[in-house]
């Protein structure tokens, strides 16, 4: 079974072939601009510190600042985030939006975190990526669900 990023890669190849894109352009479209992995310490309500892993993928900024949501999910992977960032890039391009694609994610089960733990997690994530976001670079957003 293919992973999400492998599926996105196949879609890039298929579209490039249909559009008669040259190999160099296709190769550029296959790779994210930047991948960020961060460790986020959170003081849990029971007094222990738990380290969560977060990601932010900047896929492409050719059309403008990147945009994309931030997922909180227990089964999150960098592979999924890469694919979602690629798909956000294509969505913005297809709708002729002056935006590139990005996506973020944190490996966690938000249903098992208290409001205070979620706040610490969110603030910790932003504290780790703040220098890579902003209105002229990358615009994070919440993810539905």
Catalytic machinery residues: 103
**Strands 49-60 vs 66-73: parallel, antiparallel or unpaired:** unpaired
Residue-by-residue DSSP string for 94-130: HTT-S-EEEEEEEES-GGGS-HHHHHHHHHHHHHHHG
Helix (H, G, I), strand (E, B) or coil at 2: coil
For the record, the structure tokens of 50 come out as 């738990």
């Amino acid at each position: 079974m293919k992973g999400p990023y492998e599926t996105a890669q196949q879609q890039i190849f298929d579209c490039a072939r249909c559009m008669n894109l040259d190999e160099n352009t296709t190769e550029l479209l296959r790779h994210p601009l930047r991948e960020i992995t961060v460790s986020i310490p959170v003081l849990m309500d029971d007094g222990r510190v738990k380290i969560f892993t977060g990601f932010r993928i900047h896929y492409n900024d050719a059309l403008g600042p990147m945009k994309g949501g931030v997922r909180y999910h227990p089964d999150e992977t960098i592979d999924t985030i890469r694919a979602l960032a690629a798909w956000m890039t294509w969505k913005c391009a297809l709708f002729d939006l002056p935006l590139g694609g990005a996506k973020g994610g944190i490996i966690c089960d938000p249903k098992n975190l208290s409001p205070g733990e979620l706040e610490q997690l969110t603030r910790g994530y932003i504290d780790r990526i703040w220098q890579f976001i902003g209105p002229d670079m990358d615009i994070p957003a919440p993810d539905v669900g």
